[in-house]
Structure 1
Amino acid sequence: MASKPGFLTDWPWTFLGPYKYVVLAPFAIKATYSYMTKGEGERDLTEFLILPFLIWRMVHDQIWISFSRYRTAQGANRIVDKSIEFDQVDRERNWDDQIIFNGLLFYVIHTYIKQARHLPLWRTDGVILTALLHVGPVEFLYYWLHRVLHHHFLYSRYHSHHHSSIVTEPITSVTHPFGEHIAYFALFATPILTTICTRTASLLSIFIYITYIDFMNNMGHCNFEHIPKWLFSVFPPLKYIMYTPSFHSLHHTQFRTNYSLFMPFYDYVYGTMDQSSDSLHEKSLVRKEESPDVVHLTHLTTPNSIYYLRLGFAYLAAEPHKSKWYLWLMSPITLWSMAITLIYGRTFIVERNLFKRLKLQTWAVPKYTIQYYTQWQRESINKMIEDTILEAEEKGVKVLSLGLLNQDEGLNGNGELFLTKHPKLKVKLVDGSSLAVAIVINSIPKGTTQVLLRGHLNKVSYSIALALCQDGVEVITLREDEYKKLKSSFNSNAADKLGLSQKNLPKVWLIGDGLSDDDQLKALKGTIFVPFSQFPPKKARKDCVYHNTPSMLAPKHFENVDSCENWLPRRVMSAQRIAGILHAMEGWSERECGNTMLDVEKMWQASLEHGFRPLTVSTMLSEQKYINT
C-alpha cells in the first residue's frame, strides 16, 4: 500500500479474492455465444478474440516472471544486490488486476464504439499512426505524468506503492493502485482509440502495440541487464529511444531521475538523466555468474509442485504447498512438464540467498517424488546427483546438503555412494541427520517420560531412540520386529528403556514414513505427532497436534527469502538445508553421509548460536491462519 492510501487505491473487485475473474465472465460468455451462433458474415472476430488476448498477456507476463527469477538466481548481469522478501510478493500479488481492468474496458469500447467492431486483420496506415502517436504524445505525456506522480501529495497516496519495490521484478511494472492505472489506460489507449475513430485500426496493430507495452514494461523491470553494449555502439541514436533495465533500476534506487517510459529522450531534454546510467549498464553487463559457498539440492515433489517453485507462480511459491482446485486446469502443462523430466538431465537453480557472509543457492533435480520410487529411474537420478556434486566441486562450493529423497538410503545409502566413487571430493556432503535428530528431541514436551516410535526405521529414528533411552525416556514400539532391531543396536543400559506394547499408548508419537490413517486412529485424543520423516504425514486426525517435519525458523539475517520450502511455513527451513549452512559457517571438516552421525548436541547449539529457532505450535497455527485467509 501507499504510505497514505488515496481515493481509488483498491480495485473494485478486491472483495472477490481469487474469484475476481468472474467479472469478465458475462462479457466472455456473450462474445463466445455470439461468435458461435451467428452466421459467417455476422461474426465479430474482434470481440471473440478479447479473452484469448487477455490470456496471452498473462502467459507473456508469467514467462518474464519465471525467466527473470531464474536469471537473478544465477547472479550473472544482476543490477541491484538488495533482497526481495515476502512483503514485496504480497504487495505485487495482484499484478493481473490491470489485465482484468483492460479486458473490461476493451469489451466496453467494443460495445459502445461502432468503429471498434469487425476490425480488419491488418492495416499498414494504422500501424504507422499507432507508432507515431506512441513516440510523440504518449511518451511525452507519460514523462510529465510520471514527474507529477512524484510530487509528495500524489507520491504518498499512489506512486509510493510502486516504489516500495527497490529491487524490481517484471510484475513490479504493473503494481500500482487502481486510480493510477486509470490514468495509464487513458494515456496508452490514445493510439488505439485514435486509430479506431479514424477507421485505421486493425487486430494486429492493437495486439502488437499492447504486447510491445507489456514486453518493454517487463523487460525494463528485470533486475538483470540483457541489452548488449554493442547495440548502442552500432546505432548511437538508439540510446535516446530505448531504455534498459539498468536505466530504469536507477529510477527505483535514486527516485528523482530517469522518469521516461521507454524512451530516455525526454530525460536528456529536461535534464533528469542519471549520470551513472551508462556506467551501471556497462558494469552490469560484465558481472559474472556467482559461485555459491553452499548448495542445497532438492527435487520436485508432487506434479503441481512446479507451480510452487520460486520460478513458478510467485504468490504460490510464497506459501506452503497446498492443493488448489484450479491447478487441475493446468493439467496439460503439468503432464508436459512430467514428460520433460524423463529426458531432461540437468539440475537447475531455484533461488539464491545470503546468510551473513555466505552465498547460498538451492538447486533442484528435475524429477518428481514418484520417480524416485521407480526402479528404472534410480540410476539416472543418481547420475544426475553425482554430476551435480561434481559441478559444485568445480565451482568451489564448500558444502552441498542433500534434501528430501536425494539422500534416500535405498537410493544412494544416504549419499555414501558418491563418497565411495569420489573419495577425494573437497565439497562436504551433508544429509542433516544429526540436526534432524536434535530438532525432534527438542520438539518433545518437557517432562515426557514415554514416547511411541512409529513408521519405517532409518538412520534418524535409530539415533532418536538411542538418545531418548539414554536420557531415561521410555521408547515404545508396536511391532516386535522393530523392537528387536532397535534392541540389538543399543547397549544394555539403553535397551532397558525400550518397550513393546499395544495398549496404554503414550500421547507423544515420533512418526516416520509408512504411517497409515488406520495407525493414526489408534492415537488418543490430543496426541502430539512429531515427524522424523522427510515428508509430512497425512493429517487424519483433527483432534491431535501435528508438528512439521524437522525444521527451524530462520533468523532475520537470512536474506532474500521470498518463497516457502515445500510444505513448510514462511522463513522455515528444513534440517538438511540448515545443516549445510552450519557446516560452512563453522568450517567443520566432517562429512555427514552414510551411517555417519555428528554430535547431536553440537549441531543443536550451533543452530541456536547462528539465530535459528525451534518452530513452536503457535507459530504453525498463526501461519495456518494466514494461509486460510
Structure 2
Amino acid sequence: MASKPGILTEWPWTWLGNFKYVVLAPWVIHSTYSYLVKDKTQRDLSNVLIFPMLLSRAVHNLIWISVSRYRTAKGNNRILDKTIEFEQVDRETNWDDQIIFSGLLFYLASKYLENGSHLPIWRIDGFIWVFILHTGPVEFLYYWLHRALHHHFLYSRYHSHHHSSIVTEPITSVIHPFAEHIAYFTLFSIPMLSTVYMKTASIGSLATYLTYIDLMNNMGHCNFEHIPKWLFSTFPPLKYLMYTPSYHSLHHTQFRTNYSLFMPFYDYVYGTMDKSSDSLYEKSLTRMEEAPDVVHLTHITTPESIYHLRLGFAHLASEPHKTKWYLWLMWPITLWPMMVTWIYGRTFTAERNVFKHLKLQTWAIPKYNIQYYMKWQRESINLMIEEAILAASDKGAKVFTLGLLNQDEGLNSSGELFLRKHPHLKVKLVDGSSLAVAIVLNSIPKGTSQVVLRGKLSKIAYSIALALCQGGVQVYTMREDEHKKLKAMVSKEAGHNLILSQYGTPKIWLVGDGLGEDEQKKAPKGTLFIPFSIFPPKKHRKDCLYYSTPAMLTPKHLENVDSCENWLPRRVMSAWRIAGILHAMEEWNVHECGNMMFSIEKIWKASLEHGFRPLTMSVDPKPNKTTIATEI
C-alpha cells in the first residue's frame, strides 16, 4: 500500500477475495456460448480467443517467476544482493488483477466498439502500425507520466506502492494501485485503438503487442542480467531501443533515474540516465554462480507439491503446504512435469538464504515420496544424493544436510553409505537427528512422568527413549518387538522405566512414522501427540492436540525468507535444516550421520544462542484453528 493511499487505490473486486475471477465468468460464458450456437459466418473468433489469451498471459508470468527465482537462487548474474521477504510476496499476490482488468476491457471493446469484433487473424500493416505507435506516443507519454508519478504528491499516494519492492521480481512490474493501471492501459490502448479505428487491427497484432508488453515488463524486473553483450556490440543503436534488467534495477534503487518504459532513448534525451547503468550491466553479466557454505538437500513430496515450491507459485510457496481443491483441476498439467521428472531429472537449486555470514542454499532432488519407497529407485536416488554431496564439496561448502527421505535408514543408513564410499569427504554430512531429539525432549511438558512411544523405531526414537528412561520418565510401548529392541538399547537400570502395555494410559504420545487411525483411537481424550518423524502424522482425532514435527522459529537475521518449508508455518525451519547451520556456525568439524549422534545438550544450547526458539504448534479441537506457542 502507498504511504498515503489516494482515490482508486483498491481494485473494484478486492472484496471478492479469491472469487474475483467471477467478474469474467459472464463474458467467458457468453462468448463461448455464442461461438458454439451461431452460424459459422457469424462466429467471432477474436471474441472467443480473449479468454485463452488471458490464460496465456498468466502462464507467461508464472514462467518468468520460476526462471527468475531459479537464477537468483543460484546467484550467477544476480544484480542486487538484498533480500525478498514475506511482506513483498503478500504485497504482490494480486499480480493477476491487471490480467482480469485487461480481459474486461477487451470484452467491452469487442461488444461496443465499432470495428472491435470479427477481427482477422493477421494483417501486416496493422502489426507495423502498432509498433510505430508504441515507439512514438506510448514511450514518450509513459516517460513523462512516470516522471510525474515520482512527484511527491503522486508518489506518496500511488507509485510508492510499486517502489516498496527494492529487489524486484518479474511480477513486481504490474504491482500498482488501480488508478495507475487505468493510466497505463490508456497509454497501451493507443496503438490498439488506433489500428481498430484504422480497420487494420488483427488478432495476431494485438496478441503480439500484449505479449511484447508482458515480455519486456517481466524481463526488466528480473533481478539477474541475461541480455548478452554481443547483442549490443552487433547492433549498437539497440542500447537506445531496449533496456536491460540492470538498467531498470537502478530505477528501483536510485528512484530519480532511468524512467523510460522499455526504450532508454528518452532518458538519454532528457538527461535522466543513471551514469552507472553501463558499469552495473557489465558487472552483473560477469558475476559467477554463488558458492554456498551450507547446503540442505530436500526433494519433491507429492505431485501437487511442485506448485508449493519456491520456484512454483509464489503465493502458495509463502503458505504452509496444504491440499487445495483447485489444484486437483490442474492434474492434466501436473502429470506432465511428473512424467518428465520420473524419466529424467537433475538436482536443482530451490532457495537461497543468508544467516549472518553464512550463505545457505536448498537443493532439491526431482523425486517424489512414492519413489523413495520403491526398491528399484533407490540406486538412482542415492546416486543423485552422492552427486549432490560431491558437487557441494567441490563448491567449498562446509556442511551438507540431508532433508526428508534423503536420510532414510533403509535408503542409505542415514547417510553412512556415502561416508563409506568417500571416507575423506571434505564437506561434513549432517542428518540433524541430535537436534530433532533435543526439540522433542524439550517439547514434553515439564513434570511429565509417563509417555507413550509409538511409530517406526529409528535412531531418533532410540535416543529419545534412552534420554527419558535415564531421566526417570516411564516410556510405554505397545508392541513386544519394539519393547525388546528398546530394552536392548538402554542400561539395565534405565530399562525398568520401559513398560510394555497394549493400552497406554499416558496422555503424552511421542509418535513416529506409521501411526495409523486405529492406534490414535486408543489414546485417551486430550492426548498430546508430539511427532519425532520427518513427516507429520495424519490428524484423526479432533479431541486431541498435535504438535509440529521437530522444528524451531528462526531469528530475524535469517534473511531472504519468502517461502515456507513444506507444511511448517512462516519463518519456521525443520530441525534437520537448522542442524547444518549450527554445525557451520560453531565450526564443528564432525559428521553426524549413520549411527553417529552429536551431543544433544550441546546442539540445543547452540540453537538457543544463535537465536532459534522452540516451537509448539498444535491444532485446536475446533476445526481450522491453529495455535502457535513459543517458549522464550
Q: Percent identity?
A: 73
**2:136 aligned residue:** 136
Aligned-partner Cα distance in 2 for 1:96–1:265: 30
* Structure 2 residue 93 is matched with structure 1 residue 97: no
Q: Structure 2: which amino acid aligns with 1:42?
A: Q
Aligned-partner Cα distance in 1 for 2:625–2:261: 41
Counterparts of 1:397-412 in structure 2, within 5 Å, are 397-412=397-412
Aligned to 1:353, what secondary structure does the other structure show? strand
Q: Structure 1: which amino acid aligns with 2:144?
A: W
* Structure 2 residue 9 is matched with structure 1 residue 4: no
Shift of 1:262: 0.4
Q: Structure 2: which amino acid aligns with 1:270?
A: Y
* Structure 2 residue 164 is matched with structure 1 residue 164: yes
**2:475 aligned residue:** 475
Q: Structure 1: which amino acid aligns with 2:460?
A: V
**1:437 aligned residue:** 437
**1:572 aligned residue:** 572
Q: Any stretches of 5+ residues in structure 2 without a counterpart? A: 628-632
Q: Cα–Cα, structure 1 residues 263 and 66, in superposed 2: closer, same or farther, change >3 Å?
A: same
**1:607 aligned residue:** 607
**1:307 aligned residue:** 307
Q: Quick check: 2:142–2:260 contact (8 Å CA) kept in 1? A: yes
Q: Structure 2: which amino acid aligns with 1:81?
A: D
* Structure 2 residue 216 is matched with structure 1 residue 216: yes
Aligned to 1:577, what secondary structure does the other structure show? helix
Q: Cα–Cα, structure 1 residues 376 and 618, in superposed 2: closer, same or farther, change >3 Å?
A: closer
Q: Quick check: 2:545–2:618 contact (8 Å CA) kept in 1? A: no
Aligned-partner Cα distance in 1 for 2:185–2:429: 54
**1:328 aligned residue:** 328
* Structure 2 residue 73 is matched with structure 1 residue 73: yes
Q: Quick check: 1:304–1:334 contact (8 Å CA) kept in 2? A: yes
* Structure 2 residue 292 is matched with structure 1 residue 292: yes
Q: Structure 1: which amino acid aligns with 2:82?
A: K
Q: What whole-Å deviation, never above 9, does each CA across 1:86-138 have from its counterpart, x for those lacking one? A: 00000000100100010011000111013011111111211111111101110
* Structure 2 residue 574 is matched with structure 1 residue 546: no
Say which is worse superposed, 19-28 or 340-349, in terms of deviation: 340-349
Aligned-partner Cα distance in 1 for 2:504–2:313: 47
Counterparts of 1:335-346 in structure 2, within 5 Å, are 335-346=335-346
Q: Structure 2: which amino acid aligns with 1:464?
A: I
Shift of 1:497: 1.1
Q: Quick check: 1:320–1:565 contact (8 Å CA) kept in 2? A: yes
Aligned-partner Cα distance in 1 for 2:617–2:489: 33
TM-score (ref. length: structure 1): 0.98
Counterparts of 1:384-423 in structure 2, within 5 Å, are 384-423=384-423
Number of corresponding residues: 627
**2:20 aligned residue:** 20
Q: Structure 2: which amino acid aligns with 1:377?
A: Q
Say which is worse superposed, 515-524 or 499-508, in terms of deviation: 499-508
Q: Quick check: 2:441–2:464 contact (8 Å CA) kept in 1? A: yes
Q: Cα–Cα, structure 1 residues 114 and 263, in superposed 2: closer, same or farther, change >3 Å?
A: same
Aligned to 1:424, what secondary structure does the other structure show? coil
Aligned-partner Cα distance in 2 for 1:342–1:185: 43
Q: Structure 2: which amino acid aligns with 1:110?
A: S
Aligned to 2:385, what secondary structure does the other structure show? helix
Q: Quick check: 1:86–1:318 contact (8 Å CA) kept in 2? A: yes
Q: What whole-Å deviation, never above 9, does each CA across 1:174-224 have from its counterpart, x for those lacking one? A: 011111111111110111001001101011110110100000000000000
Aligned-partner Cα distance in 2 for 1:52–1:194: 24
Q: Quick check: 2:440–2:530 contact (8 Å CA) kept in 1? A: yes
Q: Quick check: 2:617–2:626 contact (8 Å CA) kept in 1? A: no
Aligned-partner Cα distance in 1 for 2:559–2:626: 22
Shift of 1:579: 0.5
Aligned-partner Cα distance in 1 for 2:530–2:522: 16
**2:88 aligned residue:** 88
Aligned-partner Cα distance in 2 for 1:620–1:542: 8
Q: Quick check: 2:476–2:504 contact (8 Å CA) kept in 1? A: no
Aligned to 1:423, what secondary structure does the other structure show? coil
Shift of 1:553: 0.6
Aligned to 1:381, what secondary structure does the other structure show? helix
**1:496 aligned residue:** 496
Aligned-partner Cα distance in 2 for 1:176–1:93: 12
**1:251 aligned residue:** 251
Q: Cα–Cα, structure 1 residues 153 and 564, in superposed 2: closer, same or farther, change >3 Å?
A: same
Q: Cα–Cα, structure 1 residues 626 and 277, in superposed 2: closer, same or farther, change >3 Å?
A: farther
**2:598 aligned residue:** 598
Aligned-partner Cα distance in 2 for 1:617–1:286: 45
Aligned-partner Cα distance in 1 for 2:550–2:129: 62
Q: Cα–Cα, structure 1 residues 162 and 618, in superposed 2: closer, same or farther, change >3 Å?
A: farther
Q: Quick check: 2:504–2:523 contact (8 Å CA) kept in 1? A: no
Q: Quick check: 2:258–2:267 contact (8 Å CA) kept in 1? A: yes
Q: What whole-Å deviation, never above 9, does each CA across 1:25-67 have from its counterpart, x for those lacking one? A: 1100110111111111111001000000000000111110000
Aligned to 1:452, what secondary structure does the other structure show? strand
Q: Quick check: 1:431–1:592 contact (8 Å CA) kept in 2? A: yes
**2:360 aligned residue:** 360
**2:43 aligned residue:** 43
Q: What whole-Å deviation, never above 9, does each CA across 1:297-322 have from its counterpart, x for those lacking one? A: 00000110000000000000000110
Shift of 1:626: 8.7
**2:630 aligned residue:** none
Counterparts of 1:507-526 in structure 2, within 5 Å, are 507-526=507-526
Q: What whole-Å deviation, never above 9, does each CA across 1:501-525 have from its counterpart, x for those lacking one? A: 2345111110000001111112222
**1:181 aligned residue:** 181
Q: Cα–Cα, structure 1 residues 320 and 116, in superposed 2: closer, same or farther, change >3 Å?
A: same
Q: Structure 2: which amino acid aligns with 1:352?
A: R
Aligned-partner Cα distance in 2 for 1:463–1:529: 18
Q: Structure 1: which amino acid aligns with 2:217?
A: N
Shift of 1:620: 9.9
Q: What whole-Å deviation, never above 9, does each CA across 1:454-510 have from its counterpart, x for those lacking one? A: 111110000001001111111111112111111111101211111122345111110
Q: Structure 2: which amino acid aligns with 1:549?
A: T
Aligned-partner Cα distance in 2 for 1:626–1:552: 16
Q: What whole-Å deviation, never above 9, does each CA across 1:153-180 have from its counterpart, x for those lacking one? A: 1111111110000000000000111111
Aligned-partner Cα distance in 2 for 1:440–1:448: 13
Shift of 1:625: 5.7
Aligned to 1:350, what secondary structure does the other structure show? strand
* Structure 2 residue 273 is matched with structure 1 residue 273: yes
Shift of 1:394: 1.3
Q: Quick check: 1:515–1:537 contact (8 Å CA) kept in 2? A: yes
Shift of 1:233: 2.0
Q: What whole-Å deviation, never above 9, does each CA across 1:543-584 have from its counterpart, x for those lacking one? A: 211111101011000000000000001011111100011111
Aligned-partner Cα distance in 2 for 1:292–1:620: 40
**2:205 aligned residue:** 205
Q: Quick check: 2:620–2:626 contact (8 Å CA) kept in 1? A: no
Q: Structure 2: which amino acid aligns with 1:200?
A: T
Q: Quick check: 2:548–2:616 contact (8 Å CA) kept in 1? A: no
Q: Quick check: 1:345–1:384 contact (8 Å CA) kept in 2? A: no
Q: Quick check: 2:618–2:626 contact (8 Å CA) kept in 1? A: no
Aligned-partner Cα distance in 2 for 1:503–1:239: 77
Aligned to 1:342, what secondary structure does the other structure show? helix
Q: Structure 2: which amino acid aligns with 1:450?
A: Q
**1:194 aligned residue:** 194
Q: Cα–Cα, structure 1 residues 324 and 604, in superposed 2: closer, same or farther, change >3 Å?
A: same
Shift of 1:618: 7.9
Aligned to 2:353, what secondary structure does the other structure show? strand
* Structure 2 residue 233 is matched with structure 1 residue 233: yes
Aligned-partner Cα distance in 2 for 1:574–1:620: 22
Q: Structure 2: which amino acid aligns with 1:321?
A: H
Aligned-partner Cα distance in 1 for 2:102–2:620: 39
Aligned to 1:237, what secondary structure does the other structure show? helix
Aligned-partner Cα distance in 1 for 2:30–2:263: 39
Aligned to 1:417, what secondary structure does the other structure show? helix
